[in-house]
Structure 1
Amino acid sequence: MIEADVGVSSELREDLAELYRDLHQNPELSLQETRSAGVLARRLREAGFDEVTEQVGVTGVVGVLRNGDGPVVMLRADFDALPVEEKTGLPYASTVRAVDRDGRDVPVMHACGHDMHAACLVGAATLLKQARDQWRGTLLVVFQPAEELAIGAQGMIDDGLFERFPKPEIVLGQHVAPLPAGFIGYGTGPVMSAADSLNITLYGQGGHGSRPESAIDPVLMAANVVTRLQGIVAREVPPAESAVVTVGRLQAGTKDNIIPDQAELGVNVRTYTPQTRDLVRAAIERIARAESAASAAVAEPSLDWFSSVPALVSAPEETEATIGAFIKHFGAERIEQMPQVNASEDVGVFGEALQVPTVFWFWGGLETEPTIAAFAEGRMDQLPGNHSPYFAPVIEPTLTTGVEALIAAALTWLAKPQEADSL
């Protein structure tokens, strides 16, 4: 149980709500989160953290709170936004625009709830600092950038996260989701899929549309590749396994009567096991090369795997212990086991890099009673989900639940004072 003096007071609740509204109204794209990083670093310093470091992995923020002998426990939140135009109609809705990495002017919105993640971690860090008499060890607070690009975690590691700061023995994280506010969802083992992205360039020979015999058509080549890729899951992946292959981009040509000399495909893959992941990746490459050969392409296709995130595995034993703490604090009626989520998260990169357990859970951000009714009536598809221009968590009880979940999880793994005294 969380002791009374670690609970969220009405004063702190309103303070965190104001922080959340500020972050929501001022979103920043991945690796552009300079204002947000400054706000979060300042809040850690105001909370009493003596060790606060900015610009870790470009825009990441790390806070260290040492409190005697004991385990090192890492709490992580992401805080980047998306190129989405907000349509919530909230008084604190974003109207921000920015230039993305490709030089395009785009709208910006916290459409995935990372602003709520950050506000909750500020609250948990503040209260854990105030309650140092209840635990011993070291708290590593990590605000991670660029989760939406799936490069932020690795970027912080490459910038010396685990050489410059204490190495955690467990990584704890959470994600707000289209669940009833006040409720927590969890899974054990692989809870979110691996994600791999690939650009394929197919090389033909351009020509006039009236003389196809003098050209090698990369559009036809691309169409055949797209069709064949859909057979991987249907005919090569074992039925007991789960995988998704999506061609989200197909670009070729400039005019209807010109056969272009190349076509480009953007492919995304979701899997849960290393074996299936390797199988699907190899099959995609085999199909692209075989279709190029069958079409007498002028060159081998270009295959560029440009983004890769492993499956997020919530360590079973450590997850069960953490969920046990949630049940004691929130009550079993507010805790639900969830099916696997076919989206991806790069928080698992931290634990995988150190070979330490990761525990990850979801908590609800939609109005409680209407959402419960929608679930009961099978209307879940009508609820705004993550990445929707209409997704914005209700501030309460979402905020308080997120803060208390982080505290309960941290106190599960930090040493109790009597345990530390016996070391």
Structure 2
Amino acid sequence: MTSAAARTALDLTADLPVPALEDFYRDLHRHPELSLHEHRTAAALADRFRTAGLDTVTGIGGTGVVGILRNGDGPVVLLRADMDALPVTEATGLAYASEKPGVMHACGHDLHVTWLAGAAAALAAGRDAWSGTLIVVGQPAEETGEGAAAMIEDHLYQRFPPPDVLLAQHAAPGPVGFYAHRPGLIMSASTDIDIVVHGRGGHGSRPESTVDPVVTAAYLVTRLQTVVSREIAPRDSAVLTVGRIEAGTRHNIIPAEARISLNLRTQSEEVRERMIAAIRRIAAGECLAAGCPREPEVTVGNSFPATVNDPDTDRRVAAVHGDVFGAGTILDPGPAMGSEDFPLLAEDDTPYSYWFVTSTPPDVWDAAPGSDLMEKFAAVPSNHSPHFAPDPSTIAPGVRTLVSGALAYLVSPAGLS
């Protein structure tokens, strides 16, 4: 039996202005903006909110946008989309490829903004069918982990009603038509770490008079690969990535220092702390062995929390999505090693559900090598790839997921149980 929320969602999204939404999406894709610089994107989204009849405020947390629609008694439901792009040079060959050199919507946030704009308009137009308060949030700087915290620090929940439930979604690789839900842990925590190795610089022809930080950094990078393989139990998922090494200015100069940037992905605080301790120990040990004149500097930088769906909330939203799209379209992908700052919006342990919408174009998926789902999944362009290009056919379904998720609460305003 189809739920009332699903029936209402199908009614409210039956006549979506898909061509106009596709034009909006392509325009956003052509004009990507980096974290905390999403001025054009924010203005375009705010215009959509205002046109739909929502009270709209801009500039929250820098470039954040909030629209609100008070529609009688009932729960406060917050829908969120992130807006920022990445410093990636696009290689999709799309007719609407990025016009900004070196910047690209390589993670699908342009699609997220389009989904949110469409959902806000559909819910506003169908306000006779539900009761409660809708808050829609265009969030800046998800990629750098700064945006959600900046909006909270800018008094988001003093300026707008605190939500009873938060909902968000993300475009992901996979054959179009699936919606990935998981009660509990769905995305991992992320931690950035910077290491500075101090050597003693000099002429490349006289290495004996120097302490070479490049060689030390190379040993350090190699040794760091044992942190996960030898210090973390196989039952605990973890990733350590060396994303950057910087040292030197010329071929014949041994530099005075080398810099290494790491990223950790963990699914528990215990494992995170164990890895940080191991990194400090290994860095100190390698520098001591090399005779470095100073101990290394190890700095723990930006971090994202783990994304842990409230089980009851996620099951409730997944059930409505199953009613809308068919039970066979809902899957549990297991915890991903990717990370999000969305949980920072959940002050005071507000329940939330975060899910994925698969978006690989059918021709790309069919052409990918592999005989099973996981082989093909590994072969198609992923988020952050210069070839990542979600199928625009996911625009209407992505609007329906947000609308139906919100209506899971707004069509029965007495029950957040």
Which range moved further: 261-270 or 335-344?
A: 335-344
| Deviation per residue, 1:350-400 (Å, 9 max, x gap) | 12x33112211101212247636857543333312212222222211x011
- Note if 1:346 corresponds to 2:350: no
Displacement after TM superposition at 1:197 (Å) = 0.8
Distance, in Å, in 2 between the alignment partners of 1:336 and 1:266 is 35
Show the counterpart of 1:103: none
The match for 2:379 is: 382
Measure, in 1, the Cα distance between the counterparts of 2:386 and 2:224.
30
Residue 352 of structure 2 is aligned to residue 358 of structure 1? yes
1:216 and 1:296 in contact (8 A); partners too: yes
Query: Does the Cα contact within 8 Å between 1:80 and 1:110 map onto a contact in 2?
Result: yes
Comparing 265-274 with 298-307, which one deviates more in the overlay? 298-307
Residues 48, 317 of structure 1: alpha-carbon distance in 2 compared, 3 angstrom cutoff = same
Corresponding residue number in structure 2 for 1:393: 390
Deviation of 1:415 after TM superposition, in Å, equals 5.0
| 3-state SS in 1 of match to 2:136 | strand
CA deviation after TM superposition for structure 1 residue 44, in Å:
0.2
Q: Gapped runs of 5+ residues in structure 2?
A: 1-5
1:206 counterpart residue number: 201
- Distance (Å, rounded) in 2 between the aligned partners of 1:28 and 1:329: 33
SS at match of 1:84: coil
Q: Determine the C-alpha separation between the residues in 2 that align with 1:300 and 1:19.
A: 53
Give me the whole-angstrom Cα distance separating, in 2, the residues matched to 1:308 and 1:223: 25
Structure 1 CA distance, aligned partners of 2:113 and 2:125? 19
Q: Do structure 1's residue 41 and structure 2's residue 43 form an aligned pair?
A: no
* Cα displacement string for residues 295-334 of structure 1 (whole angstroms, at most 9, x for unaligned residues): 3322222222221101111222211111111111111121
TM-score relative to the length of structure 1: 0.91
The whole-number CA distance in structure 1 between the counterparts of 2:232 and 2:291 is 29
Residue pair 1:206, 1:258 contacting (<8 A) in 2 also: yes
Distance 1:370 1:262, change over 3 A: closer
Q: State the alpha-carbon separation in 1 of the partners of residues 43 and 184 from structure 2.
A: 35
Query: Counterparts of 2:366 and 2:71 in 1: how far apart (Å)?
Result: 41
Q: Is the 8 A contact 1:71 1:415 kept in 2?
A: no
Q: CA deviation at 1:121?
A: 0.5
Amino acid at match of 1:36: T
Instruction: Determine which of 181, 188, 198 is the counterpart of 1:186.
Output: 181
Counterpart of 1:100 in structure 2 is none
Match of 1:367 in 2: 361
Question: Which of 320, 329, 337 is 2:332 aligned to?
Answer: 337
Distance in 1, Cα, partners of 2:408 & 2:273: 36
Whether 2:167 is the aligned partner of 1:172: answer yes
Alpha-carbon separation, structure 1, partners of 2:253 and 2:95: 50
Secondary structure at the residue paired with 2:11? helix
> How far apart are 1:116 and its partner, in Å?
0.7
Distance in 1 separating the partners of 2:175 and 2:22: 19
Counterpart in the other structure of 1:402:
398
**Distance in 2 of aligned mates of 1:234 and 1:346:** 27
Q: Which whole-Å deviations, capped at 9, do the CAs of 1:115-161 have from their partners, x for residues lacking one?
A: 11001111111111122222222111110011111211111111111
Return the alpha-carbon distance in structure 1 between the equivalents of residues 342 and 363 of structure 2.
31
Match for residue 11 of structure 2?
5
Superposed structure 1 runs of 4+ greater than 4 Å apart:
372-376
* % identical equivalent positions: 46
2:41 is aligned with what amino acid? Answer: S
Superposed, 1:179-258 pairs within 5 Å as 179-258=174-253
SS at match of 1:95: coil
From 22, 26, 32, the counterpart of 1:27: 32
Q: Which residue of 2 aligns with 1:66?
A: 70
SS at match of 1:343: coil
Asked if 2 retains the 8 angstrom alpha-carbon contact of 1:72 and 1:169, the reply is yes
| Contact kept? 1:134, 1:416, Cα under 8 Å | no
Aligned residue identity for 1:31: L
Of 76, 79, 104, which residue of structure 2 is paired with 1:75?
79
Map of 1:101 onto structure 2: none
**Which residue of 126, 151, 159 maps to 2:154?**
159
| SS of match in other structure, 1:282 | helix
Once the two structures are TM-superposed, the CA of residue 64 in structure 1 deviates from its matched residue by 1.2
- Measured in 2, the distance between the counterparts of 1:411 and 1:379 equals 34
Contact 1:54–1:62 (CA<8 Å) still a contact in 2?
yes
Q: Which runs of 5+ in 1 are unaligned?
A: 98-106
Residue 76 of structure 1 contacts residue 142 of structure 1 at CA under 8 Å; is this kept in 2?
A: yes
Indicate the residue corresponding to 2:409 in structure 1.
413
Structure 1 partner of 2:3: none
Partner SS state of residue 379, structure 1: helix
Answer whether contact 2:364 2:380 (CA < 8 A) is retained.
no
Measured against aligned partners, the alpha-carbon deviations of 1:265-316 in whole angstroms (never above 9, x if no partner) come to 0111111111111111121122222322333322222222221101111222
Partner of 1:187: helix, strand, or coil? coil
CA contact (8 A) 2:174 2:377 kept: no
Amino acid at match of 2:49: L
Contact 1:232 1:283 in 2 (8 A): yes
Task: Name the CA distance, whole Å, in 2 between partners of 1:53 and 1:289.
Answer: 49
